[in-house]
Amino acid sequence: MTHDQFRRIAWAGAILSCLSAITTAILMYGPDAATPDGFEAAQALHANTLHTYKKWVLFFHPQFAFLAACAAAAVLVRRAPALTLVGLFYLGVWAVTEMTQQAFLIDTLNQMWRPAYLAAGAADKDQWRTLITGLQGISDGQYFVLIFGFGLGTLLIGGAFLKGPGPDKILGAGMITIGIMSLLAFAYYYAGLSSIGALISGWYGWIYGPLQIGVRLGLAVWLMHQAGALPHKT
């Protein structure tokens, strides 16, 4: 890879990391639809933009974040190949799983099954209700995979950053914190670690949003620095 090629990759990664910071902010702090009162009311959410827009954001968000991580990996793989490549694999698992989860919710649930339920006669509503209810379990199973992949991938990429100079270590420490807490959340949700419920609630309620946005913006600055550190072709 030439310096000019890497510079273009680093700048593209910086832009994508900024986009991932923006989408993180939207997901954490953007408006939400009011909680519906019961199953029947919930089916009308398919026509509520405040309900569906975050699912579209969640579809694109992991694409931005993963491609930004790929740009960073072009540097990190030289200093920590195992941590970088394995971390990138798990981030890829997260990205594809989250995209698939949101595709089910955008298309299958909100564009097909909910309208079909509302339009169905009394004799056919039960079959649509069964499908809609069952999708909750499928979506949660996908979350099982994606939060594990995200947590482990972020932890390992953070470890690769720790092998760099001081500013890299700060960015790496933020990633490692996010990775560890995501894996603890995984253990709380799925492995019976109920004793850390207050910790997980406080983490997502107060710390995760600002820290994750900061890390993604920090990665953008780091990628711009990597691009600027290379000599220009004369």
CA 104 to the chain's CA centroid: 16
pLDDT at residue 230 in the model: 61
Does residue 52 fall inside a structural domain? yes
pLDDT at residue 232 in the model: 56
* pLDDT mean over 74-86: 96
Does residue 96 fall inside a structural domain? yes
* pLDDT mean over 46-50: 96
Residue by residue, DSSP assigns 142-185 as HHHHHHHHHHHHHHHHHHHHTTS-HHHHHHHHHHHHHHHHHHHH
Q: How far is CA 20 from CA 34, 53, 58, 65, 68, in A?
A: 26, 16, 10, 5, 8
* pLDDT mean over 17-25: 98
pLDDT at residue 186 in the model: 98
* pLDDT mean over 164-177: 95
Does residue 203 fall inside a structural domain? yes
Is residue 19 very low, low, confident or very high in pLDDT (cuts 50, 70, 90)? Answer: very high
Does residue 168 fall inside a structural domain? yes
Percent with pLDDT over 70 in the chain:
97
Does residue 114 fall inside a structural domain? yes
Q: Can you give the residue range of the structural domain that contains 173?
A: 3-229
Does residue 8 fall inside a structural domain? yes
Does residue 234 fall inside a structural domain? no
The domain total for the chain is 1
* pLDDT mean over 104-123: 96
- DSSP state at residue 122: T
Does residue 181 fall inside a structural domain? yes
pTM for this model (two decimals)? 0.95
CA end-to-end span of the chain: 17
